[in-house]
Amino acid sequence: MTRRSLPATLALAFLYATAAHAQGAPDGQKISAQGANGAPACITCHGAKGEGNPAAGFPQLAGMGGKYLAEQLEAMANGSRVSPVMAATAKALDPAQRLAVAQYYAALPSPLDIDGLAATALRPVPPADTGAWLATRGAWDKNVPACNQCHGPGGIGVGDNFPGLAGQPAAYIAGQLRAWRQGQRPPGPLGLMPAVATRLTDAEIDAVSAYYAGLPKAASLLASQAQPAAGAKQ
């Protein structure tokens, strides 16, 4: 067995460190703005601040759990989550790039108006308002808990396992619920969402999706969305 002197070991460690630095961990922000390995820039569709594009049905990514986003990219890359739009993009990135870009989006500030959400959550809900009722009370006659019981007050999301729903485009939310009903999205933790989605009627899916899409977003975001979608031009 060879023994190296301490200075030699240090020099080696230094070399490894510099090599790692030169190679560089993937830069999540750069991937979002420029794409990588032929994958297009994420901002084109998901917005300059990860705020999504409600008109086009592109989901917001900012402030969601990093582990959750990385898992979704993985699922879209391996095809277990069927996404004609995202599959090639997710596949083009390697696992380290997927993780880096997921962590970049997780660290961006959520585009939601927290005070507005809190005020909405306190307002009484008429039972005839199917979407609001499902979100805040559930449908216990068929064992569907209130969505907010898992997705957090106001649907703001909880940690890495329960993604936020507030402010997501209605078409996106409805599309995901239908994907679970059709087995086109992996069951996720404990198979909770297939159990929920298969118990909802089409009308309930549309109502609850519209409810979340209509929850208040930060004023700054509304201003930026009032202009033609920045990404659409690119």
* Nearest distance, CB of residue 120 and ligand HEC, angstroms: 16
- Closest contact distance (angstroms) between CB of 24 and ligand HEC is 17
| Min dist. Cβ of residue 214 to ligand HEC (A) | 13
**196: Cβ contacts below 8 Å, ≥ 6 apart:** 144, 145, 147, 177, 180
Q: Which residues bind ligand HEC (CB under 6 A)?
A: 31, 35, 39-40, 42, 44-46, 58-59, 61, 68-69, 72-73, 83, 85-86, 89, 101, 134, 144-145, 147, 149-151, 161-163, 165, 172-173, 175-177, 188-189, 192-193, 196, 208
For ligand HEC, which is the closer residue by CB, 11 or 129?
A: 129
Give me the residue label for tokens 């380290």.
96
Distance CA 168, CA 59 (A): 6
Q: From 77, 80, 85, select the one nearest 57 (Cα to Cα).
A: 85
Spatial neighbors of 35 by CB under 8 A, at least 6 apart, are 41, 42
Nearer CB in complex with ligand HEC: 18/234: 234
Inter-axis angle of helices 202-213 and 170-181, nearest 10: 150
- Choice between 12 and 84, CB closer to ligand HEC: 84
CB of 12 vs ligand HEC, minimal distance in Å: 36
Tokens encoding 117 = 């959400």
- Measured from the CB of residue 196, what is the shortest distance to ligand HEC in angstroms? 5
